[in-house]
């Protein structure tokens, strides 16, 4: 069981990726309010919070190629154009680029960052409960990376930086990672401990005065990245 320290700055890039994707998908849903986005379940998280069981899912959605071209906001229009015809996932992985100076390798990544957003239902146009997991996998072994801090957050009314719960006592365990294809992993695991309330965007701290006991098992069938796994994994190194 991997115990959870405070948030690590190395996780911030993948956080931003998922938050931006979520915002774009919400924009798509609002743009096509009469034709709701069609979500497909790609994984499940079985949660027991204070003894009460519930189920959360990860999702994918195929974005229509027929996007409107008359959106007032220029940035929103660019986002819609970029999304057109793509499949977007709420379970994602990414590997930072190798840092180079000319032909000299300054830093070669050794960790894959995984970010999961799970919710009870597909339609995310109405804020509701959400669980977000962020952790790293060692690129050589695909085991939980000790060098990358993991965070697990629980939101009651959608994403916010100042009113949510985080797992500050207990830990995360990744039990298996399976390569499905060149872009897709299947990840299973569990976490258990205590969610405590967080009210400060600057960091996560243990707050025993407002704690909820929690345990969960998950099976994320499609965790998808843009890169080719054969090009980023450090097999045999």
Provide the pairing of β-strand 2-3 with 87-89. Answer: unpaired
Above 70 in pLDDT, residue 1?
Answer: no
Higher pLDDT, 172 or 108: 172
DSSP state of 98: P
Above 90 in pLDDT, residue 24?
Answer: no
d(CA 7, CA 90): 20
Q: How confident is the model at residue 33 (pLDDT cuts 50, 70, 90)?
A: very low
Above 60 in pLDDT, residue 226?
Answer: yes
Higher pLDDT, 202 or 67: 202
Assess if residue 84 is contained within a domain.
Answer: yes
d(CA 162, CA 152): 15
Top-ranked range on mean pLDDT: pick from 24-33, 56-65, 204-213: 204-213
> Which residue is it, tokens 């959360």?
56
Higher pLDDT, 2 or 104: 104
Mean pLDDT value of segment 42-66 = 92
Assess if residue 10 is contained within a domain.
Answer: yes
Mean pLDDT value of segment 157-180 = 94
> Distance between terminal CA atoms of the chain?
25
| Per-residue pLDDT at 124 | 60
Q: Share the mean pLDDT of the chain.
A: 82
Assess if residue 237 is contained within a domain.
Answer: no
pTM, two decimal places:
0.80
Find the domain containing 34 and state its range: 2-231
| Per-residue pLDDT at 99 | 79
Choice among 123-127, 136-140, 169-173, 212-216 with the minimum mean pLDDT: 123-127
Assess if residue 168 is contained within a domain.
Answer: yes
**Residue 120 near residue 100 (C-beta atoms within 8 A):** no
Higher pLDDT, 97 or 41: 41
Assess if residue 236 is contained within a domain.
Answer: no
Enumerate helices (H) and strands (E) in the chain, giving the number of each.
3, 13
Domain count, the chain: 1
Tell me the two tokens of residue 198: 């967080």
| Per-residue pLDDT at 8 | 36
Q: Using alpha carbons, list the distances in angstroms from residue 123 to 20, 32, 80, 126, 184.
A: 17, 12, 18, 7, 23
d(CA 110, CA 10): 12
Q: How confident is the model at residue 152 (pLDDT cuts 50, 70, 90)?
A: very high
């Amino acid at each position: 069981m991997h115990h959870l320290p405070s948030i690590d700055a190395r996780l911030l890039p993948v956080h931003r990726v998922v938050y931006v994707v979520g915002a774009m998908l919400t924009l798509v849903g609002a743009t096509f309010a009469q034709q709701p986005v069609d979500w497909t379940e790609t994984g499940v998280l079985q949660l027991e919070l204070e003894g009460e069981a519930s189920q959360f899912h990860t999702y994918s959605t195929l974005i229509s190629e027929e996007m409107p071209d008359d959106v007032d906001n220029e940035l929103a229009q660019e986002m819609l154009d970029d999304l057109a015809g793509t499949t977007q996932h709420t379970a994602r992985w990414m590997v930072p680029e190798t840092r180079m100076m000319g032909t000299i390798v300054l830093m070669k990544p050794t960790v894959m960052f995984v970010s999961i957003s799970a919710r009870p239902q597909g339609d995310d146009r109405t804020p509701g409960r959400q669980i977000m997991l962020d952790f790293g996998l060692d690129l050589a072994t695909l085991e939980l990376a000790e060098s990358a801090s993991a965070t697990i957050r629980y939101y009651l009314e959608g994403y916010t930086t100042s009113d949510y719960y985080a797992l500050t006592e207990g830990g995360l365990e990744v039990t298996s990672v399976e390569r499905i294809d060149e872009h897709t992993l299947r990840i299973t695991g569990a976490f258990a401990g205590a969610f405590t309330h967080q009210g400060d965007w600057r960091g996560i701290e243990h707050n025993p005065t407002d704690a909820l006991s929690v345990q969960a098992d998950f099976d994320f069938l499609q965790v998808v990245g843009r890169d080719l796994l054969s090009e980023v994994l450090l097999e045999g190194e």
